[in-house]
Structure 1
Amino acid sequence: MVTIHWTFSRIPQYACFSIKNFFRKCHLVCRSLTYNHFLDQSYIADVCMEPLFWFVDNFTYTIGPIFVVSVIGLTVSVVIIAYWIGIPYWWNRNPIICILLLIVGHWLLLNISFHYYMAVITSPGYPPQGELIPEAVSICKKCISPKPPRTHHCSACNRCILKMDHHCPWINNCVGYGNHRYFFLYMVYMVLGVLFVIVCGFDLAYTDIWLTPSDIDDPELEGHSVKFNQTGALIPVTDVPHLDSSLLDDEPAYNYINPWRRRALVYMALINCGVLLALGMLSLWHSQLISKGETCIEANINKAETVRLKQLGKTYSNPYNFGRKKNWKIFLGLVQGRTFVRHVLFPSAHKPLGDGLKWHTIHDEDIDEWP
């Protein structure tokens, strides 16, 4: 006879084991059905960023004209305020300095307008369609066309861009081989322009913004011919009881402070400081990239390659980095007799070096003779 012993105390342990085993099998089945050998952190990040990519692909090119109109509108508004307030202020203060400021200001405005216009209308450069490209190094997976060196596909434009840096909605265009110089010089001159306005208008802004109407309305101040109420309206000094009209001049001067003038100066201060901070940092970053002979996209690629080769005990070198001086010379197109004064300090529509399809590298034998 067989004796069966029931151990009720082990039932919870068996139940817990069965539940864990069931979930382990479910997990194994899910992993088997969704297995991807190429799954890594980059793949997961791309999946999580897919909604953002979708928005950029579908709306960036559409809302680009709105950004362009916004840039033009903000620039025009700042120029109008400078003419309305800044020029009369400096003319009354010192006509000679005012004329010098007008010359410098219009030089900056000319460069800003020219380089922004050229960055918007100039094609960044596209690989030829339907033609054999001997310089091609790969095939674009999205548009199924040959890709020359330094060429990348833009999702917003839905085509490959020669020496693509990035797609900028503020110019409604890609920044690439054809207009990279215009885009960078626009940022530089815009930073110089807002810095010029901030420096020249600091004293004016300090007087009209920092010194509030309450400072002017101080009852302890004597000798003023007018007094202001809270709305900014003029009150003749004879109506102010604590002042003796016999102490005043025969013809009191009414120094009215227009409230719209103060609002315009506050608007100018906010716009200029914001542009100076944003474009100033962006210009410095692009300057570092240009000094290294790389674009924004290539900076990420070079960084990843540097890490990968370092793990293998090797050193990565950017094939397009010819040294700081030569990189800037190539980027600005200062070849074939072109000079910095004529072709950088003043508007110039000269084209970049080469054709955007073939690029010299540090491994070329005639590198010392180029450019």
Structure 2
Amino acid sequence: MKRVVNCRCIQRVVLSAIGWIDWAFSLLLRVVGPVLVVLANSLIALVSVQWIFGLAPVYVTAPYGVVASGLVHAFGIYLLLNILFNYWGCLLTRPGFPGDHLAAVEAAAERATRDSTVPRVRFCKRCRVPKPARTHHCSVCNRCVLKMDHHCPWVNNCVGFFNYRYFLLFLLHLAAGCVFVMCTCLLGHLQGHDLLSARNSSVLFVAVLCALGIFLFWHVYLVLTNQTTIEFYSNRMDAMEARREGRTFRNQYSLGYRANAEQVFGPRTRSYLGWTLVSRTRPPGDGVDWPTHPREALHHV
């Protein structure tokens, strides 16, 4: 009996410690968020100015002429505008909060009572609002967020239903911009310039930024499989449990690659390339009601 009491005491202490750590980390993100926004924009400006006034004249204009340089500069500015547009779109767009869509939440709750295959609408004890399917509470924002993926300190905002497209396109154009700078500087290498010289150390900095491509591919995978980062880990637990029971797990929100992508970017028009263009189009739906596959269920956290 004494051992059981001790175990419970240890469990309470551990849970309390985790709670305090989570509170402290959330407070830290609230404080450093605006600083990281300034830092992110400063880094983008630094690399852009360095390339336009330092690297491009040496590696592009001098060896290839003014006309070719003008075309390269135009494409670089196009990438820069897309980077800034999608960055600030993600920063300024509300990710979606259940309290702003109470009518849709109430309708979803009514459907759940009539149809057992529809995920029930839960209730968040922290912010005291209904918690629809795929909604999670952000301890940094202290609010529930529709289809929450994660809280990004670099944009000082949650990435959720209404701004996930901006976030993904920001990653896409940022990675493309880094590769673009590297490729144009490699042209200078063909002309005999030493990329490892101290003068060109900024090229190595851009090479490090190319690692963002890994993050981009991760989110492309999540889009094509219709998962958020939070759901990916809960789905892994469900898949392991299903294997132990001899069942096949299926994410009920995954409706196929194209249908999954259209839930983020909207219906495809003439080509998939149109999804990457500058647009303020809202994603289809309301972030509350989701089409599902009829088989299997998604783990709710």
Name 1:353's counterpart in structure 2.
Answer: 284
State the one-letter code of the partner of 1:270. L
Name 2:244's counterpart in structure 1.
Answer: 311
Matches within 5 A, 1:338-349: 340-342=272-274, 344-349=275-280
53, 57, 62: which is aligned to 1:92?
62
State the one-letter code of the partner of 1:340. Y
In structure 1, C-alpha distance between the alignment counterparts of 2:101 and 2:222, rounded to whole Å: 33
- Offset of 1:320 from its aligned partner? 0.7
Gapped regions of structure 1 (runs ≥ 5): 1-27, 213-261, 365-371
- Offset of 1:203 from its aligned partner? 4.5
Give the TM-score of the pair, scaled to structure 1: 0.68
Deviations 1:145-170 (A, max 9, x none): 21011000000000100000000000
Are 2:274 and 1:274 aligned?
no
Give the TM-score of the pair, scaled to structure 2: 0.83
In structure 2, C-alpha distance between the alignment counterparts of 1:129 and 1:345, rounded to whole Å: 28
Gap change, CA 1:340 and 1:363, over 3 Å in 2: same
In structure 2, C-alpha distance between the alignment counterparts of 1:295 and 1:68, rounded to whole Å: 23
Contact kept, 8 Å, 1:68 with 1:170, in 2: the verdict is: yes
Q: Percent identity?
A: 32
In structure 2, C-alpha distance between the alignment counterparts of 1:199 and 1:44, rounded to whole Å: 54
Matches within 5 A, 1:1-371: 29=2, 31-36=3-8, 49-50=18-19, 52-89=21-58, 90-95=60-65, 96-128=67-99, 131=102, 133-134=105-106, 135-136=108-109, 137-204=121-188, 207-210=193-196, 262-263=198-199, 265-266=200-201, 268-277=202-211, 279-334=212-267, 337=269, 340-342=272-274, 344-363=275-294
Contact kept, 8 Å, 1:168 with 1:174, in 2: the verdict is: yes
Larger Rg computed on CA atoms:
1
In structure 2, C-alpha distance between the alignment counterparts of 1:124 and 1:361, rounded to whole Å: 22
Name 1:25's counterpart in structure 2.
Answer: none
Runs of at least 4 residues off by over 3 Å: 34-37, 43-52, 129-132, 203-206, 337-342
Which deviates further from its counterpart, 179-188 or 124-133?
124-133
State the one-letter code of the partner of 1:32. V
Deviations 1:196-223 (A, max 9, x none): 001111244672454x6xxxxxxxxxxx
State the aligned residue count: 277
In structure 2, C-alpha distance between the alignment counterparts of 1:338 and 1:126, rounded to whole Å: 32
Give the aligned CA root-mean-square deviation in angstroms.
2.5
In structure 2, C-alpha distance between the alignment counterparts of 1:130 and 1:88, rounded to whole Å: 52
The structure whose RCO (Cα within 8 Å, separation 6+) is larger is 2
Contact kept, 8 Å, 1:334 with 1:340, in 2: the verdict is: no
In structure 1, C-alpha distance between the alignment counterparts of 2:88 and 2:271, rounded to whole Å: 22
Gap change, CA 1:45 and 1:352, over 3 Å in 2: farther
In structure 2, C-alpha distance between the alignment counterparts of 1:45 and 1:349, rounded to whole Å: 45
State the one-letter code of the partner of 2:160. G
> Which structure shows the higher helix fraction?
2
- Offset of 1:94 from its aligned partner? 1.7
- Offset of 1:328 from its aligned partner? 1.6
In structure 1, C-alpha distance between the alignment counterparts of 2:176 and 2:216, rounded to whole Å: 11
